[in-house]
């Protein structure tokens, strides 16, 4: 019995000594960091197309990912129309910058010009593909223009001229009545 206990103890001691120590887990650390980022992307003619500003960028090369704090993106219209201004609290550059994932209080604004009215869009998450001039979000969205508004379960937005949007699923819309001139309301022509 004593030999069995000694053999079991020796086996346990030998096994515990031969096991490799647990590998130390390395904290996730960025490969590069940039503060006060201000970057302009141009087309082949050298004309600006996009302007990205962020408080901080953290790049993880192995993950093909860059994290952005307080990103602000200006998308310039090639036809000379008003730019789209996009901002959020957090963003991610994916696929070597081909895709931008914006999160937490995403807001888009475009000033009015000519027959096009100003637009304001708000949501919690939006993905942009700048080279395709396309954005998509699957979270609730609110679009406002002057006193009119629309809410929907998501959005697909083609922001190049001429811009258009689709709102999949159920949407609610409010169109404000057009104000009438004073004195003409309710009066009949003689």
- 188 within a domain of the structure (yes/no): no
The Cα–Cα gap between 88 and 18 comes to 52
Quick one: pLDDT at residue 188? 45
Distances (CA, A) of 140 to 84, 151, 168: 20, 7, 11
Contact (Cβ atoms closer than 8 angstroms) between residue 109 and residue 128: no
Number of domains in the chain: 1
- 93 within a domain of the structure (yes/no): yes
Quick one: pLDDT at residue 6? 72
CA 178 to chain centre: 34
- 180 within a domain of the structure (yes/no): no
The Cα–Cα gap between 92 and 146 comes to 31
pLDDT at residue 186 greater than cutoff 60: no
Distances (CA, A) of 75 to 60, 80, 125, 126, 172: 25, 11, 18, 15, 28
pLDDT in tens, 13-61: 676 665 555 566 667 788 889 999 999 988 888 888 899 999 999 999 9
pLDDT in tens, 108-167: 999 988 777 899 999 999 999 988 999 999 999 999 998 899 999 999 999 887 788 999
The contacts of residue 129 (CB under 8 Å, 6+ apart) are 98, 99, 100, 135
Which of the four pLDDT bands, split at 50, 70 and 90, describes residue 190? very low
Which of the four pLDDT bands, split at 50, 70 and 90, describes residue 189? very low
Quick one: pLDDT at residue 182? 57
CATH code, domain with 167: 2.60.450.10
- 153 within a domain of the structure (yes/no): yes
Please indicate, yes or no, whether the overall pTM of this predicted structure exceeds 0.85.
no
- 18 within a domain of the structure (yes/no): no
The Cα–Cα gap between 44 and 11 comes to 71
Quick one: pLDDT at residue 24? 62
The Cα–Cα gap between 190 and 54 comes to 63
- 14 within a domain of the structure (yes/no): no
The Cα–Cα gap between 180 and 186 comes to 10
Domain that holds residue 82: 27-174
């Amino acid at each position: 019995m004593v030999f069995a206990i000694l053999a079991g103890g020796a086996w346990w001691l030998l096994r515990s000594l031969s096991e490799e120590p647990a590998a130390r887990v390395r904290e996730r650390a960025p490969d590069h960091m940039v503060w006060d980022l201000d970057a302009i992307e141009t087309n082949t003619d050298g004309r600006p197309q996009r302007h990205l500003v962020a408080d901080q960028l953290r790049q993880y090369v192995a993950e093909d990912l860059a994290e952005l704090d307080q990103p602000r993106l200006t998308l310039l219209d090639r036809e000379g129309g008003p730019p789209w201004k996009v901002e959020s609290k957090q963003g991610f550059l994916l696929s070597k910058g081909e895709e931008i994932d914006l999160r937490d209080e995403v807001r888009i604004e475009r000033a009015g010009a000519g027959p096009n009215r100003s637009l304001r869009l708000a949501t919690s998450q939006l993905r942009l593909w700048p080279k395709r001039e396309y954005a998509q979000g699957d979270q609730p969205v609110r679009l406002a223009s002057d006193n009119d508004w629309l809410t929907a379960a998501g959005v697909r937005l083609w922001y190049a001229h001429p811009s258009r949007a689709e709102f999949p699923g159920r949407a609610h819309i409010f169109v404000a009545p057009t104000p009438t001139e004073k004195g003409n309301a309710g009066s009949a022509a003689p």
